[in-house]
Amino acid sequence: MSEAELIARIRELFPRTGDDAAVDGDQVFTNDMLIEDVDFTRDVPLRLIARKSLAVNLSDLAAMGAKPLYALVAIGASEWVDVGALIEEVANAARSYRIEIIGGDLSRAAKLTISVTAIGEAKQPILRSGARAGDRLYVSRPLGGSAAGLALLGADLSKLSYAEREYAESAIRRHLDPEPETELGMKLVGIATSCVDISDGLSSDVRHLCVDAGAEIMRERIPVFPGLSGNVREFVLNGGEEFALLFTSPMRESEISARVGRPVYMIGRMTKERGVRLDGEPLEPRGFDHFAAR
């Protein structure tokens, strides 16, 4: 089964799943897990693994327009891990993201595994399903940096020019230490009609907003990570782990930017016609699939 097929079955079995986070009253709940050799390797410092394990969850809360409050952290530690140091790093990360760790579990595992449940508050959660034909489609920041950073991991940067090294380091940082769009997510309440975070890739995640509409994306309007080189088209359209917000709104770009106090980027429109198109041509979902045959 592909990840999409598994998720479809999960939706049938558990009908309240399916958004970036589950909603109960004004509380929202999400869970995301990082696993050694799937999501990171042991070359990555524990500090960054700890930060990312929280960040990916906070990104899902941001996509709901929620204020992050609490997290529960379960760690399956493999032999090479200094568990005490990892716990300190989780505490540091929670402090920097201004959330409180209120529980969790510790166990042994063949590969380091960190599963985080995050809880937030949203009086009016932004769902994936609210987009309507005619809404504008927005992305919160330039894309492609995370995939470029992943491709550069382990590369020898010492032979690069200063400018190339600056770019490589910032792309790697985008990949290893992504910034959840927490502040923006909360400000989009009352502005966005739908929202998702880009975890699998633009070409895949845009489909989550196409519940009641299609989408038409204009390639030249997609903001690109500064200095992006390599397979730019692939990185921008299909690169995962961006943790930018992708959202829809009837409002103009300038009006939203003024309201949220920072740039946002209109990349297209929601359409009556179903499906996703890029400059008029069908855009296939080519983002990350954990269960795809390799």
Q: Which stretches of the chain bind Mg ion, using CB under 5 A? A: 20, 60, 197, 199
Minimum separation from the CB atom of position 27 to Mg ion (A): 17
Question: Which residue lies nearer to Mg ion by CB, 182 or 199?
Answer: 199
Minimum separation from the CB atom of position 215 to Mg ion (A): 17
Cβ-based neighbour number of residue 70 at 10 Å: 17
- Kindly give, in sequence order, each residue whose CB lies less than 8 Å from that of residue 31, ignoring residues fewer than 6 positions away: 57, 115, 116, 117, 118
Handedness of CA 216, 137, 68, 172 (dihedral sign): positive
The amino acid present at 286, given as its one-letter code, is: R
Q: Mark residue 241 as left, alpha or beta (left: phi above 0; alpha: psi -120 to 50; beta: remaining).
A: left
Residue nearest to Mg ion (CB): 20
Sheet with strand 22-24: strands edge to edge: 22-24, 27-35, 113-121, 67-77, 100-108
Question: Which residue lies nearer to Mg ion by CB, 128 or 174?
Answer: 128
Question: Which residue lies nearer to Mg ion by CB, 30 or 271?
Answer: 30
Minimum separation from the CB atom of position 285 to Mg ion (A): 15
Contact call for residues 66 and 21 (beta carbons, < 8 A): yes
Minimum separation from the CB atom of position 202 to Mg ion (A): 13
Q: Measured between alpha carbons, how far is 225 from 174 in angstroms, rounded to an integer?
A: 10
Question: Which residue lies nearer to Mg ion by CB, 193 or 204?
Answer: 204
Minimum separation from the CB atom of position 243 to Mg ion (A): 8
Question: Which residue lies nearer to Mg ion by CB, 60 or 216?
Answer: 60
Joined together, the tokens standing for residue 226 give 């500064």
